[in-house]
Amino acid sequence: MTALLGSTVFAPKAHAQQTPLRGAVHDNVLQAQNNPDTPSSNQANSPVNPASPAPDNGIPSKRYEPVSPGALPPEDDSNNLGLLGVPSNTGSPPSGPADNSGGLNPESAAPPGETIPIPVERPATRTTRARPGTTLGNGSREALDQEQTGSIANAPIEQNREANPPAERTAPDNLPEPAIERRTIRPDPEPFAPLGIRAGTVTLRPSISTGLRATTNADGTSDGSGALLSETRLRARATTDWARHSAFVDFDGIYDKSISGEEFSAPNAGLRGGIQLDLGERTTVKSEGGYRIRQEDPSAPTTIVGTSNRPIVQQLDASLGVRHEFGKFFAAVKGRLDRTTYGDAEFSDGSTISQKDRNNNFASVTLRGGFEMSPAIKPFVEVQLGKLMYDEAVDSNGFRRSGPRTGLRGGVEMDFGEKLAGEFALGYLRQDFDDERLAAVDGLSIDGAIRWSPQRGTDVSLGLLTRIEGATAPNDSGSIFYEGTLGVKRQVRSNLDVNATLIASLRDNKDGTGFDKGFGAQIGATYWFNRFFGLDISARHQFTHSEVATRQTKETSIFMGMTLQR
């Protein structure tokens, strides 16, 4: 306590006795003031200071540099700058706090009670070059060649890699974030399929083919001759993509015209449309209608011999059906109306024969019932009741050819998705006449339409048809006609399609002339350059064998052309 009070009382007096500082203050003076007990401080307080030799600063102290650049305001050494901005050597110590740690050699620190002289090292000189053409002061250029160094060269903190390592380049923080659901672009499985023309919920896919056909029998008759035909085919299909119901419209037309050889021209076109309405989960209403114009088959028994043309036949049909499913069973009713008209037969001398007595209507109702053996197989039984009605009750030969028609069939519906779909029916069909002189026409009924795809890119189609044909000759009741079509289409490459078709027919004539047998085969290919343009080539051969010479036909032809589609 006594020492503390004494130091407090005598401290002001000691401070007052000190001589005010004048001029530059060296580090040893500042060190002596900070430690008044050392002999050096007593010598500083003495009235007389003996002359000391040139100060030897030794190793100069390090200049204080903050760790973080910019922590202290920059020092203004503008007053200490010499010529060309080089600091002048005034002998003053560098600015900044004193380093009393004993320098780089801590063993040289003075022990208590002893004074160790601090050597002063004159700053080294460095060479300073003046700019070309600069006039040096004092008439000498050598003054700028002196470089003064008062301390060890310390690089700025920014260049000290140990104290301040260079910052590594960081990744930018504004990179775009990837989408949660990435869109995967997959190759188009059908790169050459038509795109279609879309209008709302309806898509139209038209195509037109045109080319040349060289044939050995232009009109397909028993005495026909060869010709070079210009053949044009127009096809179009419109479909809907409604969420619940569906509708379609199909058009297919072919027109042939002779360029050389036998004179021939004939249209063959068909239009068909339909709509399906789903009323509830288990009730379906379906309606279809169609129109077709063609030439009469030259091998048909009803063809008039000796004509110069093949008469035009027009067919119009419409149907409406309702189907309802209850449990494992289903029932359907379908009404159908057909209209057939025949054109006049022309002769080479210009005369004509009317065939209006052949125009007729046919109306029928078909009832079908079955059960679901599995979701893909549904057996059924159906009964058909119809009426054939001619426009003229009595034909030109005095026969009444109208009469009822009945049919009984049993079959199966199949739906295995894309692999197999369609139906097949087998039964009995009979046509009676109002005239007792005409015998009934009856026989086995085979009908069906099946699509099968054994592997992707290959489609097989099978069509079976049974129909009753009328007659015009006296005492002739007509015939029953069977036809089967087998088609195969294979996609060899994405832009190359090949197809083959087999057609077989059998006509059972009730006039005692036996059977007429027909056969046809066709093979073709289409090479697509892009979605819109392709090259077609095909070849076919067909013939009909009959006991009657006028019904025998044979024809071979080759077609080459191009197809445009959208």
Please tell me the distance from the alpha carbon of residue 554 to that of residue 519, in angstroms, as a whole number: 10
DSSP-based three-state secondary structure for 165? coil
Q: 437: closest CA among 406, 474, 468? A: 474
Q: Which tens digit of pLDDT belongs to each residue from 146-198?
A: 444 444 444 454 455 555 666 656 666 666 766 666 667 777 778 888 889 99
pLDDT of residue 1: 53
Instruction: Write out the two tokens for 134.
Output: 């600069």
CB 516 within 8 A of CB 509: yes
Domain boundaries defined on the chain: 26-46+54-63+99-124, 208-565
The token duo for 158 is 């920014």
Query: Residue 414 pairs with which residues in a beta bridge?
Result: 377, 422
User: What's the pLDDT score for residue 66?
Assistant: 61
108: three-class secondary structure by DSSP: helix
The single-letter DSSP state of residue 222 is T
Residue with tokens 């003053």: 92
| Residues 469 and 301: beta-carbon distance below 8 Å | yes
Q: How many C-beta atoms lie closer than 10 Å to residue 129's C-beta?
A: 11
| Four-residue CA torsion sign, 298, 299, 301, 307 | positive
Between β-strands 312-326 and 283-295, what pairing exists: parallel, antiparallel or unpaired?
Answer: antiparallel
Per-residue confidence (pLDDT) for residue 170, from 0 to 100? 62
What is the Cα gyration radius of the chain? 57
Q: State the pLDDT at residue 112.
A: 47
Q: What pLDDT was estimated at residue 350?
A: 80
CA distance 286 to 245: 10
Give the model's pLDDT for residue 167.
60
SS percent in the chain: helix, strand, coil, step 5: 10, 45, 45
Token pair 């070309």 is at which residue? 132
Predicted local distance difference test score (pLDDT) of residue 63: 63
User: What does the CA dihedral 33, 36, 42, 45 come to, rounded to 10 degrees?
Assistant: 40
User: Residues for the chain: how many in total?
Assistant: 566
Written as one string, the DSSP assignment of 300-346 is STTPPTTBSS--EEEEEEEEEEEEEEETTEEEEEEEEEEEEEEPPEE
561/213 Cα distance (integer angstroms): 9
Separation CA 198–CA 239 (nearest Å): 10
CB 555 within 8 A of CB 543: yes
What are the DSSP calls for 512-546, one per residue? S--EEEEEEEEEEEEEESSSSEEEEEEEEEEEEE-
At 529-543, the pLDDT tens digits run 999 999 999 999 999
pTM of the full structure:
0.67
Topology, domain 208-565: Maltoporin; Chain A (2.40.170)
> Which pLDDT belongs to residue 351?
85
User: Which pLDDT score is estimated for 120?
Assistant: 47
- Closest of 423, 407, 426 to residue 415, by C-alpha: 423
Q: For residue 28, which of 66, 55, 62 has the smallest C-alpha distance?
A: 55
How many CA within 13 A on the CB side of residue 348?
Answer: 3
What was the pLDDT predicted at 103? 43
Given the DSSP bridges, would you call strands 329-342 and 360-371 parallel, antiparallel or unpaired? antiparallel
Q: Which residues of the chain have pLDDT under 70?
A: 1-175, 177-183
